[in-house]
Amino acid sequence: VPLSLTCLYSYSPHQSGSPIIASTNIRPLHCFVMTSEDEFSKRDASGLQPTFPKGAKSASQAEAQTRAAYYKLTGIFQFGIAPALAFGLLSVTRTPSSTLSDQYEHRLAFIRKHDLGWIYAAWYVLSLARTHALINANATRAGARVGRPDQHAYKIMARPKDEASASSTSKDSSSCLGLADAPYVLMENVGPVGRFNRAQRAAFHFDEGLELLLGSIFLVGAVLPRLAFGLVVLYCLGRVLYTGGYTESLNGRMNAFALVAIPAVILSALVGIFGIQTLYIEQ
């Protein structure tokens, strides 16, 4: 495997009136071997993706296209596929015996009697708001050309050289180093450090939706506990595969994404169905 030698350097500026570049002692701190993976092949000079997705010509166009695509895909899943699967599972779950059907109706009646359907409605509205926030983040990602697994793009806040020289009060030595034109600070995505970053991102991705997921488990489990348990087992299996795939590669996360998303949206649909049944459908 082709290898390259990379060295880290430190600088220690002299305390003199001369420019910082001319008076800087540069010395190597540590050298290490890197693999031949090229993490710059799909980045421009600033470290961002070189083009906008889907042939967009501007940041605003890329954002609008991505936003529309996510709303369409989410709408189909959340208001079409997920409710259909949920109603199918409800039918299968209640069919084996009259006892299960009676328990289902008894629990819905309890929720209805105590006016608890509003809790289901509140959870569902909250989930829609979070979905909007996620769509908004993904749309602006496309406009910013920030790739995954990065969640932020950091900039060194150094004054450009021409502005620094024009300001009589500024003593900003960082402009002499050319830091104002430095690339964005982004996650490394190759080698052992890249694996670590992707593994961390997979873990945080799990945590980010855990509160709403737990809420849906409790709300659905109060009516159909066995179905809730089965969906959680399927979800956890998907998470294990998703985490392993994401750790191996950026695209590897997509291999198990459906196994993560489908149980979650079914739970969401069931919360919505139970809310409607207990608020608007009389016994």
Kindly report, residue by residue over 167-217, the tens digit of the pLDDT: 545 555 555 567 888 899 999 999 999 999 999 999 999 999 999 999 999
Chain segment 7-35, per-residue pLDDT in tens: 444 444 444 444 433 334 444 444 444 45
Global confidence as pTM = 0.80
Torsion of CA 157, 163, 164, 170, to 10 degrees: -90
Q: Residue 24: beta bridge partners?
A: 13
Residues 37-95 pLDDT 10s: 677 878 898 999 999 988 899 999 999 999 999 999 999 999 999 999 999 999 888 77
Q: Tokens 């009136």 map to which residue? A: 17
Token duo for residue 177? 């180093």
Do the beta carbons of residue 268 and residue 125 sit within 8 Å?
no
Report how far residue 101's alpha carbon sits from residue 86's, in angstroms, rounded to the nearest whole number: 16
